Structure 1
């Protein structure tokens, strides 16, 4: 009889401990709102949640890259819009300088206006990106990519463009050299002329200041400025296309992130209604085990003899 009582006692203790552990686990799940709080709770679900979490982290990184690209391309599109406006004003100024009734002093006043436009153009070309870089800095520049030294504007950056560290190919800069410096004009007969947006203005200013062959200076100046305008408008369209592309990427990333969050939730989150019901059942089971243990504990040889 003692062996039977000892066995029942051990069984009662084991049952009580198991019920207590089950109740504690259920209570922890209710507190955290998660069915899986450790990998040991459900290794398969934990692995699913981990993969989903990694996917969410990638989506977050890509979203940050998209936002940085959007900021840079917005600045580029706005800056090129300003450059187009400046070139339009320069074009109107050159047309006005061709007026045959204008005196040389009046033309010099117009060339002074062109010099101010050129100065503003350099500022636009050195548009900061707000993050320590430059929108038109190409593949990177620690200082302003365009310098105006002794009346000559030079590009000091690296040709090309910086791409964000992302699974999506998005730009953080534009190729300033290609946009501002490498402009060509077909002169006919297989002959082309190469110049920059700045030299187009420099040459127009110099030709108008001489006062000789004003008509020819105006014609040539307008032809060069039209090529500059075309270059700026093309680059502005490219920035706009990138902004449109970013809208699509952003939408796709949001959908991917939501799907990953749903997968993570499905893998580890708790069904609260079911969990509360299970908790109540386990609480009832624990109380029954406690009562059973109390009954077994009261048993002794003296109680049996009596």
Structure 2
């Protein structure tokens, strides 16, 4: 085969360009720290990295859902603690009303104090979660779930609870119907007790003048009994919220482990082995230097340069 000067020149140019391109790619990999920059670099590794990235995004979404749920459960636990203290104050006022030396005016004063506690309890029941909804909204409502009407406090939310969009069940609200209006009655067969209904009944009885001692005694006994039932129900609901808070710690650990595993898998799929990359870059640089020297030698092999020499 006859090799002309032109052929040797073109071959040297092609080899030089190829070496330059390889050196540039090796330099880009060193700069980015990534072995796989595009899917064409390694389709299998690129697909693996994409799956790992999707798992990381899902773990981050689960973490945000967990934080939202934890915030609501903390608020619910605090709210039910506040309600428990208010019910204890109400219980003491009702017990005081049984004092035989009290006149109608004294019991009316106690009734007014109970009315103030009732208003505070209504405010607690309608506590905002800070995210545009309500802690005791059940399955969700855009307005306060408990409404005070002439017939008493009614629940305008949807019974149950709403859950965060997560791989694990994470509540974003508490069932207000069960917490505030659904306490099991102390007497078997009686209807469920409402926090507000019980207080309304006791307030009405204590504010009625002219009641006999036996009637007052019975009202006080029934009131204390029902308030105790309400407190027990609130305590159970508060314990459930506390248990959910404890469970979020385990859920958070699992989410963190899943995210770390996804990050590791992505790193293994696309990150660069720096020692190998530096060695490869040095080899490419040596090849490029050799190509430059070859090109410079080929340039001197033209007929004109030979004649003029």
The bucket for the TM-score relative to the shorter chain is over 0.9
Counterparts of residues 1-306 of structure 1 (less than 5 Å): 3-150=3-150, 152-188=152-188, 191-210=189-208, 211-212=211-212, 213-303=215-305
Distance in 2 between the 1:28 and 1:266 partners? 19
Distance in 2 between the 1:14 and 1:105 partners? 108
SS in 2 for 1:153: strand
User: Which whole-Å deviations, capped at 9, do the CAs of 1:251-292 have from their partners, x for residues lacking one?
Assistant: 111111111111111111122233222212211210111111
SS in 1 for 2:252: helix
Structure 2 length-normalised TM: 0.93
Q: CA deviation at 1:206?
A: 1.5
Distance in 2 between the 1:150 and 1:61 partners? 44
Tell whether the 8 Å contact from 2:94 to 2:224 is kept in structure 1 after alignment.
yes
For structure 1, which segment, 4-13 or 236-245, has the greater mean C-alpha deviation from structure 2 after superposition? 4-13
Structure 1 length-normalised TM: 0.94
Show structure 2 runs of 5+ residues with no match. none
User: Which whole-Å deviations, capped at 9, do the CAs of 1:224-277 have from their partners, x for residues lacking one?
Assistant: 111111111111011111111111111111111111111111111122233222
User: Which whole-Å deviations, capped at 9, do the CAs of 1:122-156 have from their partners, x for residues lacking one?
Assistant: 00000101011001011111111111122611111
Show structure 1 runs of 5+ residues with no match. none
SS in 2 for 1:137: coil
Distance in 1 between the 2:109 and 2:199 partners? 15
Distance in 1 between the 2:150 and 2:227 partners? 22
SS in 1 for 2:185: strand
Tell whether the 8 Å contact from 1:186 to 1:193 is kept in structure 2 after alignment.
no
Distance in 2 between the 1:187 and 1:282 partners? 88
